[in-house]
Structure 1
Amino acid sequence: MGTLVLEGLSKRYGAATAVDRVDLAVAEGELVALLGPSGCGKTTTLRAVAGFVEPSAGRVLIGGRDVTRLPAHARDTGMVFQSYALFPHMSVAGNVGFGLEMRRVGRAERDARIREALRLVRLDHLADRLPRQLSGGQQQRVALARALVVGPAVFLLDEPLSNLDAKLRQEVGLEIRALQKRLGLTTLMVTHDQDEALAMADRLVVMEHGRVLQVGSAEDLYERPASPFVAGFVGRCNLLPGRVEAPGLFRTEGGGALPCGPAPAGPGILALRPERIALAAGPDGPGVPARLSALTYLGALTEYHLDLGTGALVAVAPTPPPEDPRRRLRPGDPVRAEWTPASARVLPPEAPTGESR
Structure 2
Amino acid sequence: MGNLVLDGLGKRFGASVAVERVDLDVPQGQMVALLGPSGCGKTTTLRMVAGFVPPSEGRVLIAGKDVTRAPPHGRDTGMVFQSYALFPHMTVAQNVAFGLEMRRVNRADRESRTREALRMVRLEGLEDRLPRQLSGGQQQRVALARALVVNPAVFLLDEPLSNLDAKLRGEVRMEIRALQQRLGLTTLIVTHDQEEALTMADRLVVMERGRVRQVGTAEDLYERPADPFVAGFVGRCNLVEGALDSPGAFRAASGALLACAGGPPPPGRPVLALRPEHVRITPAEGGPARLRAVTYLGAQTEYHAELGGTPLVAVLPTPGADSPLRRLSPGDAVALSWEPSAARLLPAARHDEKGA
1:222-245 residue CA offsets vs partner (Å, 9 max, x unmatched): 000000000000000000000112
Question: Does the CA contact (< 8 Å) of 1:155 and 1:185 recur in 2?
Answer: yes
1:68 counterpart = 2:38: no
Question: Does the CA contact (< 8 Å) of 1:244 and 1:264 recur in 2?
Answer: no
Q: CA deviation at 1:270?
A: 0.5
Alignment of 1:146-295 (within 5 A): 146-265=146-265, 267-283=269-285, 289-295=288-294
Secondary structure of 2:117's counterpart equals helix
Secondary structure of 2:100's counterpart equals helix
1:162-200 residue CA offsets vs partner (Å, 9 max, x unmatched): 011111111111100000000000000000000110110
Query: 1:128 aligns to what?
Result: 128
Q: CA deviation at 1:283?
A: 3.6
1:317 counterpart = 2:316: yes
Query: 1:345 aligns to what?
Result: 344
Query: 1:19 aligns to what?
Result: 19
Question: Does the CA contact (< 8 Å) of 1:244 and 1:263 recur in 2?
Answer: no
What code does the residue aligned with 2:244 have? V
Question: Does the CA contact (< 8 Å) of 1:272 and 1:344 recur in 2?
Answer: yes
Query: 1:9 aligns to what?
Result: 9
Distance, in Å, in 2 between the alignment partners of 1:330 and 1:14 is 54
Distance, in Å, in 2 between the alignment partners of 1:325 and 1:353 is 48
Distance, in Å, in 1 between the alignment partners of 2:214 and 2:31 is 16
1:37-93 residue CA offsets vs partner (Å, 9 max, x unmatched): 011000000000000000000000000000000000000000000000000010000
Alignment of 1:19-58 (within 5 A): 19-58=19-58
Query: 1:305 aligns to what?
Result: 304
What code does the residue aligned with 1:10 have? G
Question: Does the CA contact (< 8 Å) of 2:255 and 2:308 recur in 1?
Answer: no
Instruction: Tell me: CA distance 1:352–1:28, structure 2 relative to 1, closer, same or farther (3 Å).
Output: same
Distance, in Å, in 1 between the alignment partners of 2:22 and 2:263 is 29
Instruction: Tell me: CA distance 1:243–1:263, structure 2 relative to 1, closer, same or farther (3 Å).
Output: farther
Query: 2:80 aligns to what?
Result: 80
1:249-304 residue CA offsets vs partner (Å, 9 max, x unmatched): 000001011000124356210000000011111147xxx83111110011111000
Unaligned runs of 5+ residues in structure 1 are none
Question: Does the CA contact (< 8 Å) of 1:263 and 1:346 recur in 2?
Answer: no
Q: CA deviation at 1:305?
A: 0.3
What code does the residue aligned with 1:137 have? G
1:13-37 residue CA offsets vs partner (Å, 9 max, x unmatched): 0000101000000000000000000
Distance, in Å, in 1 between the alignment partners of 2:323 and 2:353 is 49
- Cα RMSD (Å) of the superposition? 1.3
What code does the residue aligned with 1:159 have? E
What code does the residue aligned with 1:280 have? T
What code does the residue aligned with 1:179 have? L
Distance, in Å, in 1 between the alignment partners of 2:279 and 2:288 is 13
Secondary structure of 1:124's counterpart equals coil
Question: Does the CA contact (< 8 Å) of 2:29 and 2:186 recur in 1?
Answer: yes
Distance, in Å, in 2 between the alignment partners of 1:4 and 1:168 is 30
What code does the residue aligned with 1:113 have? R
Q: CA deviation at 1:124?
A: 1.5
Distance, in Å, in 2 between the alignment partners of 1:263 and 1:11 is 39
Distance, in Å, in 2 between the alignment partners of 1:325 and 1:73 is 64
1:118-141 residue CA offsets vs partner (Å, 9 max, x unmatched): 000000111111100000000000
Query: 1:137 aligns to what?
Result: 137
Query: 2:325 aligns to what?
Result: 326
Distance, in Å, in 1 between the alignment partners of 2:70 and 2:276 is 48
Unaligned runs of 5+ residues in structure 2 are none
What code does the residue aligned with 1:272 have? L
Query: 2:99 aligns to what?
Result: 99
Q: CA deviation at 1:353?
A: 5.8
What code does the residue aligned with 1:327 have? R
Q: CA deviation at 1:354?
A: 3.6
Distance, in Å, in 2 between the alignment partners of 1:158 and 1:128 is 26
Q: What's the TM-score once normalised by structure 1's chain length?
A: 0.97
Count residues with an aligned counterpart: 354
Instruction: Tell me: CA distance 1:353–1:143, structure 2 relative to 1, closer, same or farther (3 Å).
Output: farther
Query: 1:296 aligns to what?
Result: 295
Q: CA deviation at 1:355?
A: 6.1
